[in-house]
Structure 1
Amino acid sequence: MRSSIALAVSASTIWIRQAFCATVGRIEYNAAPPNLSHLFNSSLFYTWRPRSHVLPPNGQIGDPCMHYTDPSTGLFHVGYLHTGAAGATTSDLVRYTDLNTDPTFIRSGGINDPVAVFDGSVIPYGINGTPTLLYTSVSYLPIQWTIPYTKGSETQSLAVTYDGGKNFTELKEGPVIPGPPFPVTNVTGFRDPYVFQSPQLDRIANSTNGTWYTVISGGIHGQGPSQFLFRQYDADYRDWEYLGQWWHEAANSSWGDGTWAGRWGYNFEVGNVFTLNHEGYSNSTDAEFFTTLGAEWSEAPIIPQVSQFREMLWASGNVSSSPNGSVHFEPTMAGKLDWGVFAYAAAGKLLPATSQASKHSGTTVDRFIIYLWLTNDNFGTSAFPTVQQGWSSTLTTVRELSKGTISNVMNDYLVAGPASWRIASQDKSAGTVELVTLNQTIAREVRAAFISNATRTITEPGRTISASASGYGNTSSDLNFAESPSSKFFMLTTTLHFPGAARNATDLKAGLRILSSEHESTSIYYQFANESLIIDRSNSSAAAATTLGILSNNEAGRLRLFNIASGSANGSSSIESLALTIVVDNSVVEVYANDRFVLSTWVWSWYDESTEINFLHEGSTAVRFDDVVVYEGLVDAWPARP
């Protein structure tokens, strides 16, 4: 029954897509693609559209921002830039309802924002106890870190909702933060206010309990990127007191040698600040400060050049105060929040245990959840056939963040830093350490829904694949799945086990080949040679050969697999296993590994038959694949949309 339902769903999807295309010109997905830029507008609307992600009914989506849980309803509001800012509500983080027919809830054109509305953040209990938005109001463009800053171009203003978040009305008064603090005027940017509370920061900064803070992202020309910290000065949030450059880094510097966290760049954007413990969001004594940030950088070491280089990073560290009252953040570990080139502008928010989503899932802890923007045209620089598609970009699957632990790690050269982990404790007698890092996983409600709503569940027997089976990359029956999905909507989980010899096996590649047919395929594999998880897109899309903007460059991210002590008296160890979760939502591919690594990208497979999955193995070292399960179908995130 499950198999027949899956085939029906797949056939229905293909029929809808082809019926739609018949009204604007027939598209054949069982033949080589034409030049897609020559097709009618919106004729590709359903070709690569995801089913389970957050994106508007049509048009372009931008930065996620302005999220909050409505205290009166318990609904979570997810926001994003879209002709102003738009959004939706959700009771379970799985299915969403647009706030309005046109999902926009705030537009530019007011006295403070005549040109644009940029990112902002919501105080759930704000003015008169209603949700209150602090956002960047824009009066002049262009704004870019490589050009001189126009004074007054970015200010921070307030807006309030009186109808449950369907609309936010700008206050009829001037900006509450009218510009960068004196004498910090030669900035590279001053935007994206993020509001938060922190009892820890109250103590450090000698603030009143329950004070609201906002961190504003930017930088200073000739000096480097910064996060500027302010605190609430009055009860109505009209005045904010400057507490100094909460965090500053030298221009275009990096964390360590840049291996694990790229570059700090010249300008920070979209900074979030929050405290986590091992369960999630927390203000307890065992919680520590984290920040997520977008870093804009350039390959030019001295003279900045117009550049699209961006990285979405995270950092954790210590916070202290100075005698003059300023407060400072000092990183102790840092990493990439997502290794995908297209993944940027993350925004998160506290999801309290009292929210509807938490109550429905039985979760009793507060959590910090986060979305990223996944642009499909390389931030507007590629010639992707956007008008033919009729929509552009999406948000990633929502994730939970927490402070993670890696236990019983051998205290060898692999744990040296600075890196995206830190030694928390050491057992000298056992020769081991405990590491801490940032954990990020698919939100538990979403993962559970992908499993429980699967139209078909495929379980592949575990197997050990050796060099003889792999044929050093040649096709072999030992690499075939007994059964593959019939659609391009699924979640796959598996665990790979490596022998000790794999550590020095420079020829080893092990993983999976997905969205595969005789015409196209995408390879996802780990290799020890450079400790990288790689998504090989060189043969992902037949359309890349006919159409500019269908990018086929590989995506890669660094992941270190540590040596884990076996607990035996002889001090033996084994290589940490690689636990993979791969979400494929039509053209969106997200790879999660070991609860601490994510790489998100686009795969624009063309042929309807490109749905096969195979094991991938190259090299002279055997690899064991266990717990291989495919959950096909995912979930329709927008059941109320036509």
Structure 2
Amino acid sequence: MRRIITVAGSLALLVGYVHSALINPIDYNAAPPNLSTVFNNSIFYTWRPKAHVLPPFGAIGDPCMHYTDPATGLFHVGYLYSGDGGNSGAAGATTDDMVTYHDVSTDPMFIRAGGINDPVAVFDGSVIPAGINGTPTLLYTSVSYLPIQWTIDYTKGSETQSLAIARDGGANFTKLTEGPVIPGPPFPVTNVTGFRDPYVFQDPKFDAALDSTNGSWYVIISGGLHGSGPSMFLFRQYSPVFRDWEYLGQWWHEPANSTWGDGTWAGRWGFNFEVGNVFSLDDEGYNTDGDIFTTNGAEWSEIPIIPQVSQFREMLWSSGNLTKAENGSVTYEPSMAGKLDWGVYAYAAAGKILPASSAASNKSGAPDRFISYIWLTGTNFGTSDFPVDQQGWSSSLLTARELSRGTIENVVDNELVNETASWRVIGRDTSSDTVTLSTLKQVIAREARTAFISNATRTFTEPDRTLSTNTNSTSTNTAFSQSPISKFFMMTASLTFPSSARTDGSLKAGFKILSSAHESTLLYYQFSNESLIIDRSNSSAVAAITPGILTNNEAGRLRLFDIRDSNGTGNGTAVETLELTVVVDHSIVELYANERFVLSTWVWSWFETSTELAFFHEGETEVVVGNVTVWEGLVDAWPGRS
């Protein structure tokens, strides 16, 4: 669906890397060359992460087609893939611990384009874990014509939905020898902007609202209507073997290029929806009795006149209510919405239920969960001139996240809470003048976080300190007493701001990472626009020499509320503490905050010495930084790869 780039095959890549490394060694303590001129595959390891999901070679695209195999308890992670001489389809891996992964085969593709229904491409799909004959069954978008883009007229028959059945433990999915089970947009909904990315699910709330048989399967297909706006199309299982699906209408529709509220907290709904998921969450994780949540991609434009090409995208989440219409259909109306990841290159999230009975949850003792992966494109959706051939691989999935319903308590009932935003008020206490807020909670999958800590090769802490630009002992950019010796670590910290910080328009406070005399990256919070910012302007010495090494700043909105004292009865208030977790996996930086904010991006630092950490502060207001701990090493997510 999103364009993915073809690179050399596995054997050629490895041979080429060894050959080029021997005759053209790269010195990471010297100024970099123009990397677009070096041998193919010669920078294969220069920025390669080790703790993330990515293929052994080639280009990874949208995460999709995840499932837990009921026969083995293994969780299967899927993704669109292009590699090995131009073949494309979907590839995958299994995990029994959400930390280490194993390719489903040496290929590693489990389905390829080129069948009767998909002569051109395989786009995203979703798996029924116990489908036809109790076997994992894939419903995916089969593509017959390209190009497909929301800015151009839609070619009838270009996107259909087809079935395939797992074989050999998921190493292969065999396509059914029949036509598509959903042959296109329903009549008269023909003038669509897209019709793809089926997501299958069960939900008793849908059963009740639609008078369905308990346990019915549903599928939402993402797209939109030209001149009208983005939509999610809803279908219900009609035959017991999933070969027929009944159209139930546009479950969710938004006006073209409209925003949630004023757009501050969730950007735009755009012109076309992609990769839609729907699921129910409570405070512990996945629960069909919980609140309805969605994740979805949105394609949009900055101008009202639709251009021929637009690369603007948002990866959004929402929560809202299901309403039964007079004609018997159901509609969805969000009551809060936000960004699942604020990174410009983070897109196409796909999630799946990870049941308590899965192998990973059995080990960790976790309840039923909803796990989501997000694609981090390394080429700005194919529009930048990044040296892909020289690297030999492209893009990655971000660390798996657990999604649940989040609660913020003892929030002072003032103007900061009363907004159409990424939270909603679920309770008011007039005696203490406080409210309780609900939002989406998203954290690193517990197994991965535990592994980053328990497998650390070095662990060190920094003493608490007060940052002040005007005090020599705690001046701007104060270096840590220790720093990592590698570019693989997780760091946690808390920043405490006084109330006066809200009126200090010059205040910036945070950290400098991946730093040396030649390059560095800043992570900081500023109250002037309530933003967490990753300043990449000096992040890479390569950027001035090699095209496609992007250094634009990344930013996302996070409101720190006023919080009543801990027992909720006093009159004292304080600005909510900023709790940060930073994961650095060579070139991937993921910034998590207060269990409700994530900003992910690439940082292509060059020098081997660019591993230093420091505190960062600007402005008049003092900031207290505490609980700083660094765990160095992360984990090798692919122990079976040579």
Partner letter of residue 181 of structure 1? Answer: P
Which stretch of the first structure deviates more once superposed, 404-413 or 297-306?
297-306
Give the match for residue 265 of structure 2: 260
Partner letter of residue 618 of structure 1? Answer: E
Change (3 A) 1:338 1:51: same
Distance in 2 separating the partners of 1:544 and 1:326: 53
SS at match of 1:291: strand
The answer (yes or no) to whether the contact 1:472–1:619 under 8 Å persists in 2 is no
Distance in 2 separating the partners of 1:470 and 1:220: 60
Distance in 1 separating the partners of 2:169 and 2:530: 48
Give the match for residue 317 of structure 2: 314
Q: CA deviation at 1:527?
A: 0.3
Write out aligned runs for 1:225-264 (5 A): 225-264=230-269
The answer (yes or no) to whether the contact 2:467–2:623 under 8 Å persists in 1 is yes
Partner letter of residue 308 of structure 1? Answer: Q
Write out aligned runs for 1:398-547 (5 A): 398-469=400-471, 474-475=476-477, 479-547=478-546
Deviations 1:226-266 (A, max 9, x none): 00000101100011011110000000000000000000000
Partner letter of residue 629 of structure 1? Answer: T
Asked if residue 282 in structure 1 is aligned to residue 282 in structure 2, the reply is no
> Which of 202, 206, 211 matches 1:201?
206
Deviations 1:40-93 (A, max 9, x none): 000010000000000000010000000000000000000000120000000001
Per the normalisation by structure 2, the TM-score is 0.95
Asked if residue 158 in structure 1 is aligned to residue 160 in structure 2, the reply is no
The answer (yes or no) to whether the contact 2:121–2:142 under 8 Å persists in 1 is yes
Distance in 1 separating the partners of 2:105 and 2:429: 57
Unaligned runs of 5+ in 2: 1-15, 82-87
Distance in 2 separating the partners of 1:467 and 1:145: 49
Q: CA deviation at 1:302?
A: 3.0
Asked if residue 89 in structure 1 is aligned to residue 94 in structure 2, the reply is yes
Partner letter of residue 348 of structure 2? Answer: A
Distance in 2 separating the partners of 1:418 and 1:237: 40
The answer (yes or no) to whether the contact 1:21–1:27 under 8 Å persists in 2 is no
Change (3 A) 1:473 1:21: farther
Asked if residue 133 in structure 1 is aligned to residue 132 in structure 2, the reply is no
> Which of 341, 357, 372 matches 2:344?
341
The answer (yes or no) to whether the contact 2:476–2:615 under 8 Å persists in 1 is no
The answer (yes or no) to whether the contact 1:109–1:115 under 8 Å persists in 2 is yes
The answer (yes or no) to whether the contact 2:466–2:474 under 8 Å persists in 1 is no
Partner letter of residue 104 of structure 1? Answer: M
Partner letter of residue 504 of structure 1? Answer: T
SS at match of 1:192: strand
Unaligned runs of 5+ in 1: 1-16
The answer (yes or no) to whether the contact 1:377–1:384 under 8 Å persists in 2 is yes
SS at match of 2:635: coil
Write out aligned runs for 1:389-404 (5 A): 389-404=391-406
Write out aligned runs for 1:615-626 (5 A): 615-626=615-626
Q: CA deviation at 1:467?
A: 2.7
Partner letter of residue 354 of structure 2? Answer: L
SS at match of 1:84: strand
Q: CA deviation at 1:462?
A: 1.1
Q: CA deviation at 1:22?
A: 2.7
Distance in 1 separating the partners of 2:442 and 2:45: 30
Q: CA deviation at 1:466?
A: 1.8
Q: CA deviation at 1:464?
A: 1.2
Q: CA deviation at 1:20?
A: 7.3
Give the match for residue 355 of structure 1: 358
Distance in 2 separating the partners of 1:162 and 1:29: 45
The answer (yes or no) to whether the contact 1:472–1:618 under 8 Å persists in 2 is no
Deviations 1:93-131 (A, max 9, x none): 100000010110000111111110000000001000000
Distance in 1 separating the partners of 2:568 and 2:212: 51
The answer (yes or no) to whether the contact 1:67–1:76 under 8 Å persists in 2 is yes
Change (3 A) 1:387 1:525: same
Give the match for residue 11 of structure 1: none
SS at match of 1:404: strand
Partner letter of residue 252 of structure 2? Answer: W
Distance in 2 separating the partners of 1:157 and 1:146: 25
Give the match for residue 9 of structure 2: none
Q: CA deviation at 1:21?
A: 5.3
Give the match for residue 42 of structure 1: 41
Distance in 1 separating the partners of 2:559 and 2:421: 10
Give the match for residue 186 of structure 1: 191
Partner letter of residue 254 of structure 2? Answer: E
Give the match for residue 270 of structure 1: 275
Q: CA deviation at 1:26?
A: 1.1
Give the match for residue 13 of structure 1: none
Deviations 1:352-387 (A, max 9, x none): 000010011122x10000000000110000110110
Distance in 1 separating the partners of 2:76 and 2:282: 24
Partner letter of residue 197 of structure 2? Answer: D
Give the match for residue 579 of structure 1: 579
Q: Where in structure 1 do 4 or more consecutive aligned residues deviate above 4 Å? A: 17-21, 470-475, 567-570
Q: CA deviation at 1:573?
A: 0.6
Partner letter of residue 187 of structure 1? Answer: V
> Which of 294, 298, 301 matches 1:298?
301
Distance in 1 separating the partners of 2:572 and 2:634: 42
Q: CA deviation at 1:190?
A: 0.1
Change (3 A) 1:271 1:568: closer
Distance in 2 separating the partners of 1:399 and 1:563: 27
Distance in 1 separating the partners of 2:634 and 2:568: 43
Deviations 1:460-488 (A, max 9, x none): 1111112323799755xxx1111000000
Q: CA deviation at 1:219?
A: 0.2
Alignment size in residue pairs? 620
Distance in 1 separating the partners of 2:570 and 2:198: 54
Change (3 A) 1:447 1:569: closer
SS at match of 1:23: helix
Q: CA deviation at 1:204?
A: 1.0
Distance in 2 separating the partners of 1:20 and 1:460: 43
SS at match of 1:63: strand
SS at match of 2:448: helix
Asked if residue 102 in structure 1 is aligned to residue 104 in structure 2, the reply is no
Which stretch of the first structure deviates more once superposed, 565-574 or 599-608?
565-574
Q: CA deviation at 1:23?
A: 2.4
Give the match for residue 52 of structure 2: 53
Distance in 2 separating the partners of 1:483 and 1:26: 30
Give the match for residue 6 of structure 1: none
Give the match for residue 10 of structure 2: none
Distance in 2 separating the partners of 1:579 and 1:281: 24
Give the match for residue 368 of structure 2: 366
Q: CA deviation at 1:201?
A: 1.0
The answer (yes or no) to whether the contact 2:17–2:40 under 8 Å persists in 1 is no
